[in-house]
Amino acid sequence: MTGPETQGTTHGNATIQRLCQLGNVPRASYYRHFDAHAPARADADLRDVIQRLSLAHRHYGYRRITAQLRREGWIANAKRVLRLMHEDNLLCLRAKPFVPRTTDSRHSFAIVPNLTRGLVPTGLDQIWVADITYVRLGEAFVYLAVVLDAFSRKVVGWALDNHLEAGLAIAALDMALAARNPRPNTMIHHSDRGVQYASHVYAARLETHAIAISMSRVANPYDNAKAESFMKTLKTEEVNGKAYATLDHARRDIGSFIETVYNAQRLHSALGYKPPDEFEAEIAHSTNQAHHAKIDVSLN
């Protein structure tokens, strides 16, 4: 027996076929025209669903993703899904299930070993961790790069833009360098193997400041767990459920969350349930007290 949903689908396909016959237009041309002129918002909706499905079913190729989309009621052909998955770097998830979709590790730049494995920072500006994630606008995607201090969990640098070029990561790094001015040869910068972090210009910036370069092992998300944890917090507490109209809107709201909520207010269990700013202020106070005590002892 044919149900109402099946009847509607049959009727709709028959209508399209009849219109194509009347206009002497192949049905394939109609569907190509539909895909080529799909509204930008609908295209963004489809990309968002594809990204979630790809992460939920990491072993699915574009054909299985297309089939799953159709099961959920989406109109999309395999070529369109393949194109969107290629643009969002989702095709590598089968071979490298833990590589973020914002990361392209298939490049010719040098890959350095993980220098942070087994290390536990005991103070500020010993290890910085960096990462990139995507943020959805109404009809497009923008990308956020961050640099965190691994000891205090504070975001010391960030940048949000509409591209994934090395300049995005460099902008976040430059903010961190200006804010912290770390002493040469005292710190490790850790990231994934993405092309942004492996690029010559990014490596040169770190080398100029005598900062050691470290990268995660292949297919191991735990090497950069602190940065991944921040991204999860950002998505859960700020990005999810928000509707950013423009890049400037997203930059304003996300910047406000980072500076006034995450760094200044949010309690971190790893910091004794203190926000990063307060935690760092207490460290600075203790350091100053110890310095003055040392001076008093030497004077006496």
pLDDT digits (tens, 9 = 90+) for 201-239: 999 999 999 999 999 876 555 567 899 899 999 998 999
State the Cα–Cα distance between residues 16 and 167, nearest whole angstrom.
47
Q: What is the rounded end-to-end Cα distance, in angstroms, of the chain?
A: 98
Tens of pLDDT along 79-117? 888 888 887 777 655 444 333 355 555 555 667 889 998
pLDDT at residue 30 in the model: 61
Angstrom distances, CA of residue 174 to CA of 101, 129, 257: 24, 14, 20
pLDDT at residue 221 in the model: 55
Query: What residue spans define the domains of the chain?
Result: 4-93, 127-284
Residues 157 and 173: beta-carbon distance below 8 Å: yes
Q: Please tell me whether residue 130 adopts helix, strand or coil conformation.
A: strand
CATH 3.40.1710.10 fits 127-284, yes or no: no
Using DSSP bridges, classify how beta strands 188-191 and 212-215 pair: parallel, antiparallel or unpaired: parallel
pLDDT at residue 97 in the model: 36
State the Cα–Cα distance between residues 208 and 178, nearest whole angstrom.
14
Mean pLDDT of the chain: 81
Q: Please tell me whether residue 20 adopts helix, strand or coil conformation.
A: helix
What is this structure's pTM? 0.64
Longest dimension (CA), the chain: 103
**pLDDT tier, 36 (very low <50, low <70, confident <90, very high otherwise):** low
Contacts of 156 (CB under 8 A, 6+ apart): 128, 147, 148, 149, 175, 176, 179, 180
Percent of the chain with pLDDT over 90: 45
State the Cα–Cα distance between residues 189 and 210, nearest whole angstrom.
10
pLDDT at residue 262 in the model: 96
